[in-house]
Amino acid sequence: MVKADVPQLRIVDTPRGPLTYTLTRKRVKNLNLRVGAGGEIMVSLPLRCPVRQADDFVQEKSGWILDAAARRAERQTEPLPPVSREECARLLREALERVYPLVEPLGVAFPALKLRKLKSQWGNCHWAQGYITLNTALARCPEELRDYVALHELVHFLHHDHGPGFYARMDGLMPDWRRRRKALKGCGGALERESIGKV
């Protein structure tokens, strides 16, 4: 049984390939789909409805949804307003917690999280020491981009470099990661310096 208000990532097959969206069960009357500023796809589903109903809906409307998401992701994204230190820590910790279940079955231990103001990187994985670093600027990027970077760094515990194994794993766990990476490039304004961040 899915609890209310705990967002979960769902993947559905569409004629144009797998589509990832975030599903939240809420006390709402009707199913509600939203495409966020970074191209993230979010569905709110009434508590009484089965999860399959959301999957079916997304599948049925996938052509329209993917077009809308691509349009939004390509647009230069204005950074979200600055947040306090505490809020930043909460947002980035939540991103890590959201995506961790994807790598937990693969034997990755929950890492320590360090936050840094990095100039040219969105994150780092210190796999030998068991921690990851996330750029505090991510707090000003859309949620799905924080999720992408957090997952990218988690996958480095399994594949230390950016070899074919790394990308194959990303494809398996977050099929739309390339779209998110593209959107992240449009989010460079969140970085302290005018540079495009790497992960």
In the bound state with Zn ion, the residue whose beta carbon lies nearer, of 54 and 199, is: 199
Q: Which is nearer to Zn ion, 187 or 199 (CB)?
A: 199
3-state secondary structure at position 35: strand
| CA 35 – CA 62 distance, rounded (Å) | 12
Q: Which is nearer to Zn ion, 65 or 95 (CB)?
A: 95
Number of residues that bind Zn ion (CB under 5 A): 1
Taking CB under 5 A as the rule, which mask of x and - marks residues 140-179 in contact with Zn ion? Answer: ----------------------------------------
Contact region for Zn ion (CB under 5 A) — 1-9, 54-62, 65-73, 191-199?
A: 191-199
- Cβ contacts of 11 within 8 Å, gap of 6 or more: 18, 19, 20, 175
Q: Provide, rounded to whole angstroms, the least separation between the CB of residue 124 and Zn ion.
A: 8
Residue (44 or 133) nearer to Zn ion, CB: 133
Can you name the residues that pair with 22 across neighbouring β-strands?
9, 42
* Cα 172 from Cα 176, distance rounded (Å): 10
Three-state DSSP state, 173: helix
The residues binding Zn ion (CB under 5 A) are 199
